[in-house]
Structure formats: C-alpha cells, structure tokens
Amino acid sequence: MAPHGLIATITIALGAAFLGGFLATKVRLPPIVGYLAAGIAVGPFTPGLSADPQIAPELAEIGVILLMFGVGIHFSLPDLWSVRWIAIPGALGQIVIATAVTAVVVPLWGWTYAQGVVFGLAISISSTVVLIRTLSEVGLLDSAHGRIAVGWVVVEDLAIVVVLVLLPPLAPLLGGSGIAGTENLFGALVVTLAKVALFGLLMVVVGTRLIPWLLAEVARTGHRELFTLCVLVVAIGVAVVAALAFEVSLALGAFLAGVAISESDLSHQAAAEALPLRDAFAVLFFVSVGMLFDPTFVVREPLLVAAVVALVVLRKWLVSSVVVLALGYPVRTALIVGAGLAQIGEFSFVLSNVDRSLGVLPSQAHDLIIAAALISITLNPLLFRTVDPLAERVRRLSLLRRYEERRAGALARIERGVEDTLRHHAVVCGLGQVGSLVMRALQRRNMECLVIEQDRRIVEDLRAAGTLALYGDAGNELVLERAHLDRAILLVIALPDPQTSRRVIEVARRANERIGIVARAHSKDAAEYLRKAGANEVVLGEEELAIEMTGYALHRLGVSPQEIALIARGLRSR
C-alpha cells in the first residue's frame, strides 16, 4: 500500500532537508539555507517530487511551538540584565528605525504605509539561530561583542512576541482582515490585551509553580520517556490552551510555557529532552516556508529583491552599528554586532505566516521575505570577514576619533601624575572571570595593574576602588599606547577573541620586545595562532580543566605529586 500524505510529506520534507542542510554545511553555509532550499525544491513551484502543501504547514505549526518553547526555556533574565543598557535601547531603537525607513521606502513600490510598517517589522528581526552559529564559528560567542549581540537578539525575539499578540486586532486598521471591524478596533485591542494579561498572570502565579512541580514528580518516577512526554505535553498543551481559551497566539503560549519551565531545576534536562523533536519540527517549519516560495519571483523582480536585501543587510548593519557607537561602545564592537544582526530568519517567517491569514501584506511580500532571508544568511559569514579591515579604516577617520575621545572622556586616559611614574606594571586586557582572577592575584603580590576594558561601568568601578583602568577597545593601538606597554613587564590577555588578542600581541611586541605575554585560547589552532604572533605562553582553558581533573583523579588513586606533575607536563607538551 502506498504511504499516506502525512507519511509521504514527512519523508520527503525531512529527506530533502537533510540533503540540503548537509550540502549547505559542506560549502560553509548555515544549515537553515539548505532547509529553505529543500523546501523550494519540493514545493509546488518546482517540478519533480513534491510534498503535500496542505499538511506541511500543520507540521510547521508544531515547529513554531517547539521553537518558541525553546526560546522560553533558554531565556535568562540575568544574562539579559547584564547587557540591558545596550541590548534593550539598541534593539528597540533598531526596530523602530528599521520599520520607519521601510515604511517610507515601500510607497515607491506601490504599497501603503501600513504595509510598510508590518513589512518593516518582519525584516527587522534577526535570526537567533544564525547569529549564535556565526558567533561560535568566529570564536566571539563568549566575548563582550557576542554577549551584546545575543542580548540584543533576545530583546528582538521578545518584541516579535508582542507584535504577534497585537497584529490580529490591529489588522483591520492596517488594511487586513482581523477579528473585528475598524469601528470596534479599540474594544478588540483592549479585550486582546486583557486576555494576554490574564494568561500571563496565570502563567506567573500558577504555571511557574505547577509546571516545575509536575516535572519534578514525573522525574521521580525514573522513566525518561515519561519525562520527555511530559515536556512535550506542557509545550504543546499550554500553547493550544492559550489559543483556544484566551485567543492568544500559539507562539506566545509556547514561549511562556518555556519561561515557566526555566524556573525549574530540571530546565536543562527538559531542554535536552525536547531538543531532538524541536529541531526536527523546526526543520519542517523551514521546509514549509521554502515550499511557499516561488523561485521565479527573483527572476521577475530582481530589483525589488535587491532593494529588500539592501534594507536587510546594509541598513541593519549600518543602523545597528551606529546605535552601538552612540551608546558608547568601540568601533569594532559596533561592527561585529551590526554584522551579526544583518540577516533575518525564523521569526520573520513566523510573522509572515501569521499575516497570511490576516492579509495585511501583498502576496509578493512573503516571497521577498524568504528571498531576503536566503541571501542575507548566505552573505552573513562574509560580512564578518570585513569587520577587522573595515574597523582599521574607520578608526582612522578624524571625526570618529574625536567622537570616541569625547565620549570616553577622562576614562580614556590615566592621570598625568600617575602616568609619568608608571613603571614595571602589568597590563590586563579584559576583566571577565579570567581577567579579574589574574588581576586580584597580581595585586596580592603588590604589583601595579592597569586594566583595559570596554565596559564603561567596570572601568568606573575599578577607578573608584583605586585600580588603574582605561576605557576602550584593547585592539585599538591608541588605547594600548596609553597603557605604556613600553614600560610594562607583563601583559595578560584575557580576551576570548583570538583576532583581537593577536592584534594586542603584535602592538605589544613592537612597543616592548622584552615584555612577558600570556594569553588565553579556546582551541589548539588559536593557541598556535597567538604563539606565532609573539605570546610567551598561551593557556588553553579546556586543556587546563582536563589536566586539573586528571591530577585530582590520579591523586585519589595514590599517585605521587611528582609523578602527577610529570604527567601534566607531558599532557601540555602534546
């Protein structure tokens, strides 16, 4: 008997997605590009084998639920709070500017301003998946730049959740079909917000207590499959109840279910159990989006596609970079954050799918979103390769140099009296967990430390505590000159970014050939990269962790300290 439409659709969609994702990774592109291309290949607009266009969107809805559920589980208020001064105003400012620019431009295409607002919102939200993957590949995920970019995109995700709630009642005003006519718009909006508030209150008061308790009870049974089933029931069940009882979007219900689970001690286990199914159904979501795209549209409307890609890539990069600069961060940080955000992805598709039932956007808008996503995601890794050379050129601009000097103020310089007497000191670049421990250890040995840090508040706190500190990018040669590396005896580079670390080493070696340089690295390739640049010692974090654990294990087995030391030396020399 031939397979049913459901079985055939899942087989075709997942098979095409696997092939597309595999080929995409082979050419060093994010798998999401392959998934979208697979959807196009099995869609109704291309010849050959095709999946059922009616069933695929239903499966994609589950993908959206699990995708938003995962965002909720991993939502960390402390992480967001640590970069709140830039992530919140930056993300919201970028969304407002992007939406306004798009609304002004689209009338040239024959669209209304209202359509421009919705379209601008859709192309203002960056892909979290693509951002994290790209930052990981270039070694910037754990850097200050990476934390800012991730915090920024989390705020964008939260903003799109609000948009998904408000769009249906506002659709009649925007020219679409909504839940009420324009004469009842205010009432409909109030009712919608009241339902959202009631649902949110129930999730905070009841959900954050009931769901963690339920997970804990199920975990005590010791049956892993029952725990997995419980996680899925919570994710999908809360989303469906939210939609049926409160007329809240499935996405918001799933997100709040994830946030409720994040309060549990079992949140990491819940995320791990849901991950395989989330990934599988998220892939079906991307495939279903690709199936809705007509590839001939790019041929028919090349100028329109190019204009939207420019709005996504160039406008987002420029606006985000300028916002980061305006908030007082260095040029390189601004360019990295801007490059990471210069693409669109999953939540743009979610908003586009919601609009298909509301009819605010013209039909070509959905094709434009998919085309812009494919092209911007493909271009994103290339943008990162231009960051360092572009940062060097931008730093030479006298206007920008004067702006940075004025913005940094006294924090960019050491007091003249202290500067003149500074000798035989240690310079510490980066005051994260690693840098702060090293600084405290050196200070206990009564060694003068000068810290270079690009977080203004950290520099202010250090100076208030009596520690010498400079505000700025350690990769900026002018900042390093003010640290007087020519008179220092030690340079500690506690930066997670190997490119910046190498630049610091090269400047230090030119200024002082005898200075001792120790740096950190996350891989052997990065360690070799920094040693060739002139570092005396490069510490591999994972390697040192393994050696310490090995030492403890051998000690428990009765191995002598001398033999343990020899084994550790041998491990380091490999």
Among 174-178, 410-414, 438-442, the minimum mean pLDDT is found in 174-178
* Mean pLDDT of all residues belonging to the chain: 83
Partners of 452 in the β-ladder = 429, 470
194 pLDDT more than 70: yes
Q: Residue 185's pLDDT band (boundaries 50, 70, 90)?
A: low
Q: What is the pLDDT of residues 333-383, one digit of tens each?
A: 888 899 989 988 777 888 888 887 788 888 888 889 988 988 888 888 888
pLDDT exceeds 80 at position 512: yes
| DSSP secondary structure letters along 48-85 | SS---TTHHHHHHHHHHHHHHHHHHHH--HHHHHHTHH
Angle at 53 between CA 49 and CA 56, to 5 degrees: 100
Q: Between vectors from CA 502 to CA 498 and to CA 503, what angle results, nearest 5°?
A: 120
The pLDDT tens digits of the residues spanning 533-574 come to 999 999 988 888 888 899 899 988 988 888 888 888 888 776
Residue 338, token pair as written in the block: 């801007």
What is the helix (H) or strand (E) element at residue 158, kind and residue range?
A: helix 144-170
Q: How far apart are CA 120 and CA 103, in angstroms?
A: 7
pLDDT of residue 209: 84
Give me the pLDDT at residue 397, please: 77
70-95 average pLDDT score: 78
Mean pLDDT lowest among 47-61, 149-163, 448-462, 514-528: 47-61
Q: CA-to-CA distance for 384 and 135, rounded, in angstroms? A: 9
The rounded distance, in Å, linking the Cα atoms of 200 and 111 is 36
Which part of the chain is CATH 3.40.50.720?
Answer: 422-535
Q: 5-391, what's its fold?
A: Na+/H+ antiporter like fold (1.20.1530)
Report the half-sphere exposure of 188 (CA within 13 A, side-chain side). Answer: 18
Encoding tokens for residue 465?
A: 């505590």
- In the chain, list all ranges with CATH 1.20.1530.20: 5-391
- Among the residue ranges 73-77, 170-174, 498-502, the one predicted with the least confidence is 73-77
State pLDDT tens for residues 124-147: 988 877 787 777 777 777 677 778
Residue scoring higher pLDDT (3 or 201): 201
Residue 2 has pLDDT above 50, yes or no: no
Tens of pLDDT, residues 448-493: 999 999 888 888 899 999 999 998 888 888 889 889 999 999 999 9
Confidence of residue 256 (pLDDT cuts 50, 70, 90): confident
Hey, which residues does 491 pair with through a beta bridge? 427, 517
* pLDDT (0 to 100) of residue 1: 41
Q: Which fold has domain 422-535?
A: Rossmann fold (3.40.50)
- The yes-or-no verdict on residue 280 having pLDDT over 50 is yes
Share of the chain above pLDDT 90, in %: 17
Mean local confidence (pLDDT), 43-50: 77
Percent of the chain with pLDDT over 70: 92
Query: According to the model, what pLDDT value does residue 206 have?
Result: 83
Q: What is the pLDDT of residue 188?
A: 67
Tens of pLDDT along 58-72? 777 777 777 777 777
